[in-house]
A and B are shown apart, each in its own frame.
Chain A
């Protein structure tokens, strides 16, 4: 990770986090809030009311031009051709071996103008990969360092956005993105998130970041809105079984092994990088799968790299784990042998020499009430 001699990167909301008393930590080279009032408190605020997260460290890429669609469909697993204007989709960018470089959301803003939101730790790698494969007639711009973003998430998120923006706001539907002028500044609002709750992700220029953030917190006060850190973001996304690149996804794992097949358009006629390997893998069958599991009894929470065994024989390894604030008890994601991946399978989790019973369960752990 980061060496002490390299200064940590700061988002445009860094001063705001300090004013609000956040605890800041090194997150992949970024100085980010891990928590304000406490991870469990913030987690519950998002499940019951609303929370706002600084996600300015994430990358914002813009791709446009006549050949943009063909170019993007050659790099991404989902089918960009299915995107209507203002629509977004979750997708993955793979290496030649079918391993995951990054998972991201791509929005078609209008015509041939596409907006991609990528993981913070992967901005440089993604940009290099995209530029390496760039086609004539495609314009690519990495604007990660001029854009800030926040995620407003929770059952009260939309009500808060309406209160802040007023009646003129074009409210995006699920996975849609709209643009809006807030105090004469263009912002983008997308009905997406990483918590398992309804909500929006809001993108804007760094110059208005702090004003916007405090205005949002003020508008959200009557609704119980709380600023939230990356700690709660992690437990929320884990309960919703949303994968974290670097933990649950890696350049050694394909999206089929990660059970993300519905975001891989293997049936479309055109090629994308990694497709050949995925087709072979699909034909020969998966050896390992990403599963969700729960501790059967009270015990220490699962953590990444803990081994999983079946009848004493190693069958896999944990990639994400935490005590679940919503369910109580330990939950996790793990890659296990395909013959041990069925929900209901009983496994043993090894923690500091002890073995605790766990059960493979259906994903997700948490689904919001509809």
Chain B
């Protein structure tokens, strides 16, 4: 059973997004980090990059495999987590907090309606 906070929105590809004043903060879910286990490397997007919802924007590498991370929303990347390159293990330890991946200025906030709430995501991962 993984932690799925109520206040976030979720993509079926296991990213979460928290939106405040049309700024979205993105990370991967507790379920996803459990599935990946032992994260050893994180490749983040560049600040200033324009990303579209559903496109691969980052890579998280575990011992076993490299996994693409898909942006749950469109917009401009305005900040990336400076701690992750040196401490990729934060993804396993604190996926909803210290291991946020990047922040973006949403260009199409209406896209968020297509994402799942906590209950729907919980159902999607079978918990």
Contacts and interface: CB of A to CB of B under 8 A. Distances in A.
Interface residues of B, number: 13
Contact of A300 (B35, B38, B43): B43
Contacts, number: 40
Interface string B35-67: 101101101000000000000000101111110
A325 B41 contact: no
Interface of A: 23, 34-35, 38-40, 231, 234-235, 299-301, 303, 322-323, 325, 352
B79 to A, nearest CB: 22
Given A38-B37, A352-B43, 14 more contacts: A23-B35, A34-B64, A39-B38, A39-B62, A39-B64, A40-B38, A231-B37, A300-B41, A300-B59, A300-B66, A301-B63, A303-B65, A323-B61, A352-B59
Contacts of B66: 300-301, 303
Nearest to B92: A38
A301 B43 contact: no
Contacts of A301: 40-41, 61, 63, 66
Interface of A is mostly: mixed
Contact of B63 (A23, A299, A325, A352): A325
A235 B64 CA distance: 9
A325 B62 CA distance: 12
Nearest to B42: A300
Nearest to B43: A300
A193 B80 CA distance: 44
Contacts of A300: 41, 43, 59, 61, 66
A138 to B, nearest CB: 41
24 contacts: A23-B35, A23-B37, A34-B64, A38-B37, A39-B37, A39-B38, A39-B62, A39-B63, A39-B64, A40-B38, A40-B63, A231-B64, A234-B64, A235-B63, A299-B41, A300-B66, A301-B63, A301-B66, A303-B65, A323-B61, A323-B63, A325-B63, A352-B43, A352-B59
A23 B62 CA distance: 15
B127 to A, nearest CB: 14
Centre residue among B38, B43, B62, B64 by max chain A CB count within 10 A: B64
Interface of B: 35, 37-38, 40-41, 43, 59, 61-66
Contacts of A39: 37-38, 62-64
A322 B41 contact: no
Contacts of A323: 40-41, 61, 63
A235 B40 CA distance: 14
Contacts of A23: 35, 37
A301 B37 CA distance: 15
A151 to B, nearest CB: 19
A356 to B, nearest CB: 11
A34 B37 CA distance: 11
Contacts of B38: 38-40
A215 to B, nearest CB: 28
A203 B66 CA distance: 35
Nearest to A34: B64
A322 B43 contact: no
A39 B40 CA distance: 12
A159 to B, nearest CB: 28
Contacts of B40: 301, 323
A322 B64 CA distance: 7
A293 B62 CA distance: 19
A38 B62 CA distance: 11
Contacts of B59: 300, 352
Nearest to B41: A300
Contacts of A38: 37-38
A39 B61 CA distance: 13
B64 to A, nearest CB: 5
A27 to B, nearest CB: 12
A352 B64 CA distance: 17
A299 B86 CA distance: 10
A234 B31 CA distance: 24
A118 B54 CA distance: 43
A325 B66 CA distance: 16
Nearest to B85: A298
Top 8 nearest A-B pairs (CB, nearest first) are A323-B40, A39-B63, A300-B41, A40-B38, A38-B37, A231-B64, A39-B38, A300-B61
